[in-house]
Amino acid sequence: MQNTLKSAISFTGVGLHSGKPVRMTIRPASADYGIWFHRTDIADGDAMIPAIWSAVTPSRLCTVVENAAGASVSTIEHVMAALAGSAIHNALIEIDGPEVPILDGSAEPFVAAFIARGFVAQRSDVRAIKVLKTVEVREGEAVARLEPSDMLEIDFRIDFAEGAIGVQSRRLNMSNGAFVRELSDSRTFCRQSDVDLMRQKGLALGGTLDNAVVFDGDRVLSPGGLRHADEPVRHKMLDALGDLALAGGPLLGRYTGIRAGHAMTNQLLRALFADPTAFRLVACGDRVGEKLPGVGVHRGDLPSHRRAVAAA
């Protein structure tokens, strides 16, 4: 069955790239509504923006959706991952600015708030998108691929010159609470050289060592170090789930990313939906539904909760 939140919940913070303060409220929505953004700061014109692959506009550093009137919301990947990883299928996201708040740079603050607020089951089946044949896009050494599978799997590999990152790979079956347990607390990351370059271009103005992991050669500059030894590749998997959530329904397929980013994952979705023989919609009964991300998540799945219990 589809799910929504029991009641509205608000978040405040700053945008990672704009540095501007923002308030965002996620409200319950009816069955089959999907996920929509509403720019409450736009008084005239269309302020409703669908969270769907076809509304994504080109951006290298984050995921941006835009409507036909030019209203947009950026850096949506973490909240989209949190919604998908918590099995929330319907929500209205009201936001009073152009960028989602970065919070701690991960998806866990969203997930923790969702679990605390609670979920409502709705009387409508989840319709998943089942991948029927391999679809792939390439750009130099970067690859993004979808292959048939009975569940969503994410397989990611990164390769950075920085000694503190290096080559990392991880593969995960995303069923049930796997996203919450294994990926949700992994933070966005960058190299110090990237920070310097982005700020010269007026970007990353809201970035701090408290909401991003910053690497400089063999050093991790962020206080407290890493939450996981392979936190960077885990965060890339988090981003991939958020971008795949723009498919319009849960995916049943194996996603492989090799040095892939937001733009490539969107290109992959466009390639999938351009070929009607590459997918089909399936109604999820109990057997299929129990394999979807987020089914049955609870407070004990949160990494911060498990760390607190271990430390007690």
Closest CA to 1 of 115, 119, 121, 87: 121
54 shares its domain with 77: yes
Q: How many structural domains are present in the chain?
A: 2
Q: Please report, for the domain that includes residue 12, its CATH number.
A: 3.30.230.20
Shared-domain flag, residues 144 and 202: yes
Which residue type does 186 have? S
Cα separation of 146 and 130, whole Å?
Answer: 10
Counting residues of the chain whose pLDDT is more than 90, the rounded percentage is 79
Say if residue 24 is in the same domain as residue 109. yes
CA 174, CA 151: separation in Å to the nearest integer?
A: 8
pLDDT for 192: 83
CA-closest candidate to residue 170, choices 81, 107, 257: 257
Domain extent, residue 79, equals: 2-122
Same domain, 270 and 172: yes
Do 108 and 152 lie in one domain? The reply is no
Q: Record the pTM.
A: 0.95
Q: For residue 17, indicate whether it is catalytic.
A: no
- Select which of 17, 235, 262, 305 is catalytic: 262
> Looking at 122, 141, 162, which one is the last position of a domain?
122
Q: Say whether both 191 and 306 belong to one domain.
A: yes
Identity at 118, one-letter amino acid code:
G
List pLDDT tens digits, range 231-287. 999 999 999 999 999 999 999 999 999 999 999 999 999 999 999 999 999 998 767
Regarding whether 189 and 99 lie in a shared domain, the answer is no
Residues 209 and 162 in one domain: yes
Query: Could you tell me which of 75, 109, 69, 76 has the C-alpha nearest to residue 91?
Result: 76
Other beta carbons less than 10 A from residue 166's beta carbon: 13
> Are 296 and 250 contained in the same domain?
yes
Among 74, 91, 122, residue at a domain's last position? 122
- Check if the beta carbon of residue 80 is closer than 8 Å to that of residue 91: no
Residue 61 — very low, low, confident or very high, per pLDDT cuts 50/70/90?
confident
Statement to judge: residues 59 and 184 lie in one domain: no
